[in-house]
Amino acid sequence: MSACPATGPLTAAMSRQWVNAAIAALEADFQRSADTHLIRLDLPAYPGIPLYFKDESSHPTGSLKHRLARSLFLYALCNGWLREGQTVIEASSGSTAVSEAYFARLVGLPFIAVMPNTTSREKIARIEFYGGRCHMIEGADVSAASRALAAEIDGHFMDQFTYAERATDWRGNNNIAESIFQQLALEPHTCPSWIVVSAGTGGTAATMGRYIRYQPTRKACTRLAVVDPEFSVFFDAYKDRKRCHRLDRGSRIEGIGRPIVEPSFLPETIDRMIKVPDALSLAAMRALEGLLGRKVGGSTGTNFVGALQVMGEMKAKGETGAVVTLICDGGERYLDTYYDDAWVVAQGHQLVESLKAITLAVEGLPDIENSVEVAR
């Protein structure tokens, strides 16, 4: 008879006392934290269609992934998957790893981030600041490399791409969707017409889509649009509902897009997907600096393109209503990449035409429709 592999540690090393203390540390950290801001941006070319940015860059670790990392640690602890002294390993393009390094330090666990060797130097520095280590690889399959490393050192692979949507309480409990609706309570449009988010792991989109459907009498007016960058398979998976799509490289826009269809991606919760060229994302990111007075990351540029697309459609139909999207992280992390003209040119991009398209879209002209692909 073949041996049956153990499903987890069989010793008392994973003491209940340590787990209780770790969860208490996470809860205390949350209690010290405030909610993130909802910033309103009125574009004169879109009367009656206010645009809101949920500013996730104000988290302690500077990005939307702070919420995810906290949920993943609580999920792993409550499932009995983490034990005292065990190394936590995560596959990440950078932002999730920064946040997980923060929480690993909080509960006293070693942390290793497995990342593409194209990850920005600023993100690497932030991971190391929180006591984490970086394991850089060639190619896009960071998950396989993480599993192999976890097996080699008896660590725990957190696996955000599988557990993102499972670890988040989509019914409420201070999730990002609930927060958005609460913050809109005194606005002219308390129920947004569209929420526009990008697909990174798929977890944020799943949380939004599920929450909208969970209380339909309150949120029946809201639809979910998900934007996807180049070198990502989510858009194609949404169109044909097949999960076999695969690319041999990762997304150029850090934090969003995946070369495989991750388990956390739930196309049935999405009302529309928008495929956004990388040059347009970078142009939109730079244009937002002038509109918001601050630098934002590339994925926020992708979100802004999607928001302009749905706002243009609403305007053409004579509709009014709010549109909500996210500031995923700040632009300070990308000074040596997305904000570096030499780097942009080295990627094969010239942003002149894309900047013109974004400028025209902000002014209310529908030129952006010719630059994106929409699946309904």
Q: 97: domain CATH number?
A: 3.40.50.1100
Residues 240 and 312 in one domain: yes
Tell me if 27 is assigned to some domain.
Answer: no
Q: What is the pLDDT of residue 94?
A: 79
Residues 55 and 81 in one domain: no
Tell me if 30 is assigned to some domain.
Answer: no
Q: Which of residues 115, 137, 164 is at a domain's end?
A: 164
Q: Taking the C-alpha atoms of 315, 316, 320 and 326 in order, what is their torsion angle to the nearest 10 degrees?
A: -50
| Nearest Cα residue to 206 out of 163, 250, 253 | 163
Residues 160 and 229 in one domain: no
Residues 152 and 271 in one domain: no
Residues 107 and 244 in one domain: no
Q: What is the pLDDT of residue 218?
A: 63
Q: What is the pLDDT of residue 46?
A: 98
Ranges in the chain, pLDDT < 50: 1-2, 5, 10, 13
Residues 49 and 119 in one domain: no
Q: What is the pLDDT of residue 169?
A: 76
Q: What is the pLDDT of residue 45?
A: 97
Q: Which of residues 164, 184, 201 is at a domain's end?
A: 164
Residues 217 and 88 in one domain: no
Residues 159 and 236 in one domain: no
Tell the burial category of 376 from Cβ atoms under 10 Å away from its Cβ (0-12, 13-18, 19+).
exposed
Q: Are 184 and 191 in contact (CB under 8 A)?
A: yes
Tell me if 9 is assigned to some domain.
Answer: no
| pLDDT, tens digit, 9 for 90 and up, residues 249-268 | 888 998 899 999 988 899 99
Q: Can you tell me the distance from the alpha carbon of 194 to that of 209, in angstroms, rounded to the nearest whole number?
A: 11
Residues 195 and 77 in one domain: no
Tell me if 234 is assigned to some domain.
Answer: yes
The radius of gyration computed from the CA coordinates of the chain, to the nearest angstrom, equals 20
Tell me if 16 is assigned to some domain.
Answer: no
Tell me if 296 is assigned to some domain.
Answer: yes
Residues 178 and 109 in one domain: no
Q: What is the pLDDT of residue 6?
A: 52
Q: Which of residues 164, 198, 217 is at a domain's end?
A: 164
Residues 188 and 321 in one domain: yes
Residues 149 and 265 in one domain: no
Tell me if 24 is assigned to some domain.
Answer: no
Domain extent for 150: 65-164
| Number of domains composing the chain | 2
Tell me if 32 is assigned to some domain.
Answer: no
